[in-house]
């Protein structure tokens, strides 16, 4: 069980290339497609290193995944991850 700072506790499990996220507060389950799972892997790695912040995540997305964190699609993805508790608000 992983706890986002100040956020809900969630359980993250791989399902092939995708992931399933279970929020133990409200019993909601979310299926994350492979592309989103790659982003969540980066988030989890930064969290384990104690380096998860908006700036470090943006840098990792740019440098590791060659994604623009300011693009509408990535901004929407990060917003969704905040809503389901993977990213702190």
With beta carbons less than 8 A apart as the criterion, state whether 7 and 21 touch.
no
pLDDT in tens, 32-77: 999 999 999 999 999 999 999 999 999 999 999 999 999 999 999 9
The answer to whether the predicted template modeling score (pTM) of the entire model surpasses 0.75 is yes
With beta carbons less than 8 A apart as the criterion, state whether 10 and 83 touch.
no
Rg (CA), the chain: 12
With beta carbons less than 8 A apart as the criterion, state whether 9 and 88 touch.
no
Structure tokens at 81: 């991850």
pLDDT in tens, 2-24: 544 444 478 899 999 999 999 88
**What residues have CB less than 8 Å from 73, skipping those under 6 apart?**
none
- Between CA 9 and CA 16 the distance in angstroms is 23
């Amino acid at each position: 069980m992983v706890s986002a700072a100040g956020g809900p506790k969630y359980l993250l499990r791989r399902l092939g290339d995708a992931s399933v996220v279970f929020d133990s507060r409200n019993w909601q389950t979310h299926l994350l497609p492979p592309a989103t799972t790659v982003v969540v892997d980066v988030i989890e790695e930064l969290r384990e290193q104690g380096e998860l912040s908006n700036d470090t995540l943006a840098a990792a997305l740019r440098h590791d995944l060659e994604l623009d964190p300011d693009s509408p699609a990535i901004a929407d993805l990060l917003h969704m991850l905040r809503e389901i508790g993977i990213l702190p608000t």
